[in-house]
Amino acid sequence: MLDLYGRGWQMLEGGLVTVQLCLTVLPFMIIIGLLGASAKLSRYRSLRIIGESYTVLIRGIPELLVILLIYFGGTIAVQNIAEMISGEETRVDIPAFWSGVAALALVQGAFASEVFRAAMQSIPVGQIEAATACGMTPKQIFLRIKLPQLWRFALPGLNNLFQVLIKDTALISVVGVEEIMRKAAIGAGTDKAPFTFYLVAMLMFLSFTTVSLVAFNYLEKRAARGIARA
């Protein structure tokens, strides 16, 4: 039972790919989220409109559809661009892994921008005014006042997003990336034991989300260590 018809290692490899996916998406998600949040809080109306419509669009469209669109559509787009540059017929294949990363970063970035926007707005105005009075430039204010506190305000939201991200990586199995769900599907198909393989896959996901939950709770406690006394 435990060696899963000799596929226990395969499942662990799948688990490794899932972890890789999560950790690759994470930095992109944070960068897109910060950019999106700054756009939404920008002085310029055009930037605000772009930021808002980005979240409205992404929030209303299923993740699966975004993944499929980027996987099938992205290949054609890159191919067209490559043909335009080289001037001859070229065949390009975007690895499924990276199209999945792009899709998830796009989706999670939209939600992250909401989290960061709320976090930026929870920073007391008095602190910004004090920083301006001290003669700090906007860049200094961002780096010294906003960013360190952003972390603490954004952590609960990021905790939630990371849970969603772990679960969303399972969708990338649809375009053939060999993460947990895909490996389980292969095992389920060839060894005619879907119940066992999907059960193992679910347990693996459950342990990942649990670890993430515990880690984030620790970080939240740590980030609030200066505040808890009050």
Partner 1 sequence: MFEDLIYVLGKYDTWLWRGFLLTMELLVISVTFGTLLAIPLAVARVSKKVWVQALPFAFIYVFRGTPLIGQLFMMYYGVGQLISNIDGIQDHWSWTYLRNPYWYCLLTFVLNTSAYVAEIMRGGIQNVPSGELEAARACGMTPWTTYRRIIFPRMWQMIWPAYTNDVVFTLKATSLASTVTMMELTGAARKIVARTALPYEAFISAGVVYLIIVYVLTFGFKGVERYLRRNERRKDKQPVGPKTASI
Q: Which residues bind partner 1 (CB under 8 A)?
A: 56-57, 59-65, 68-69, 72-73, 76, 163, 166-171, 173-174, 181, 184-185, 188, 192-195, 198-199, 201-202, 205-206, 209-210
Contact 208, 21 (CB under 8 A): no
Question: Smaller CB distance to partner 1: residue 38 or 160?
Answer: 160
Whole-number minimum distance, CB 229 to partner 1, in Å? 26
User: What are the start-end ranges of the H helices in the chain?
Assistant: 8-40, 45-60, 63-68, 74-86, 96-121, 125-133, 138-140, 147-168, 180-191, 194-223
Contact 54, 113 (CB under 8 A): yes
Question: Smaller CB distance to partner 1: residue 167 or 222?
Answer: 167
Q: Please identify which residue in the block is written with the tokens 């939201």.
A: 157
Question: Smaller CB distance to partner 1: residue 121 or 207?
Answer: 207
Whole-number minimum distance, CB 223 to partner 1, in Å? 22
Whole-number minimum distance, CB 166 to partner 1, in Å? 8
Q: Rounded to whole angstroms, what are the CA distances from 62 to 98, 107, 166, 167, 168?
A: 19, 9, 16, 14, 11
Whole-number minimum distance, CB 205 to partner 1, in Å? 5
Question: Smaller CB distance to partner 1: residue 63 or 178?
Answer: 63
